[in-house]
Amino acid sequence: MRKKIVAGNWKMNLTFEEGQKLTTEIVNMYKDENIKDVTVVLNPPFVHLFSVKKLVGNTPNLFLGGQNCSDKASGAFTGETSATMLKSFGAEYVIIGHSERREYFKESNELLTAKVKQALENGLTPIFCCGEPLEIREAGTHEDYVKNQLTESLFGLSEEDFAKIVIAYEPIWAIGTGKTASSDQAQEMHKALRDHLASKYGQEAADNTSILYGGSCNPANAKDIFSKADVDGGLIGGASLKSRDFMDIINSF
């Protein structure tokens, strides 16, 4: 049975004090509400990793993740953060290929392959992002576009390594815009991606892969989206910065 996962992506937000406050609220609510069957991942900016991990401690099913990692193991790469560093801070997950990294920093599918391999070599679970911009959706070529992202970045992995991957589908046109893919649109795309994974790694491997939805998911629509057969949770942006909203999304299962 594949994992139900809700990952909070803080992006480039929150001061040290704000991060401490948010994490404390989430940890306390998580314990008070006795959540047991949902894996929750907090993905703060790198500067928060140590303090967030200290507050999260060994809380069951509550994990720390990075927002990105370098494709290099170490060396003279000023400003970069390696997968080894993330692991040493207690991270267990890392977001790779977020649409903002692809768009603003021109990260290619080839580069993302190298990042995935670095993550796996260091025992991190990649949350691999894929998704289409508005013009691709309107052209009706969105399924082929996103399938190609998976093919070029992930299909060189062994079956053993692929089994460690989490997929996050994020319709770029719905990120931070207030627009959201309908639950039926999300299900349609998630099903297409799962079928694509099955074509390479077999149906059992595809059925065991968690595919998250990321695109303006909030407490009002999460229950409907998460109810779909091929949606296994969410990669949450803005709503993850409000503890009550984030917990309500987690409780939407």
Q: Span 14-35, mean pLDDT?
A: 96
Q: Do residues 236 and 217 make contact, with C-beta atoms less than 8 angstroms apart? A: yes
**pLDDT tens-digit readout, 96-119:** 999 999 999 999 999 999 999 999
**Does 80 qualify as catalytic in the annotation?**
no
Which positions make up the binding site for substrate?
A: 9-11, 176, 216, 237-238
Q: Span 53-80, mean pLDDT?
A: 97
Q: Span 231-247, mean pLDDT?
A: 97
Q: Which of 50-54, 70-74, 115-119, 171-175 has the lowest mean pLDDT?
A: 171-175
Percentage helix, strand, coil, to 5, in the chain? 45, 15, 40
Judge whether residue 179 has pLDDT over 80: no
Question: What is residue 93's three-state secondary structure?
Answer: strand
Q: What is the DSSP letter of 54?
A: H
**Cα distance between residue 217 and residue 238, in whole Å:** 9
In the chain, the domains with their CATH numbers are 5-250 (3.20.20.70)
* Active-site pick, 48, 98, 142, 196: 98
**Cα distance between residue 28 and residue 24, in whole Å:** 6
Q: Span 75-99, mean pLDDT?
A: 98
**Cα distance between residue 52 and residue 22, in whole Å:** 9
pLDDT at 173: 87
Judge whether residue 157 has pLDDT over 80: yes
**Does 170 qualify as catalytic in the annotation?**
yes
CB neighbour burial string for 83-110, b if at least 16 within 10 angstroms, e if fewer: bbbbbeebbbbbbbbbbbbbeeeebebe
pLDDT at 114: 98
Judge whether residue 176 has pLDDT over 90: no
Residue 21 pLDDT class (50, 70, 90 cuts): very high
Q: How far, in whole angstroms, is CA 144 from its chain's centroid?
A: 21
pLDDT at 162: 98
241: tokens are 């910065």
The residue among 131, 134, 128, 127 whose CA lies nearest residue 145 is 131
Which positions make up the binding site?
A: 9-11, 176, 216, 237-238
Q: Span 30-48, mean pLDDT?
A: 95
* Active-site pick, 100, 107, 132, 170: 170
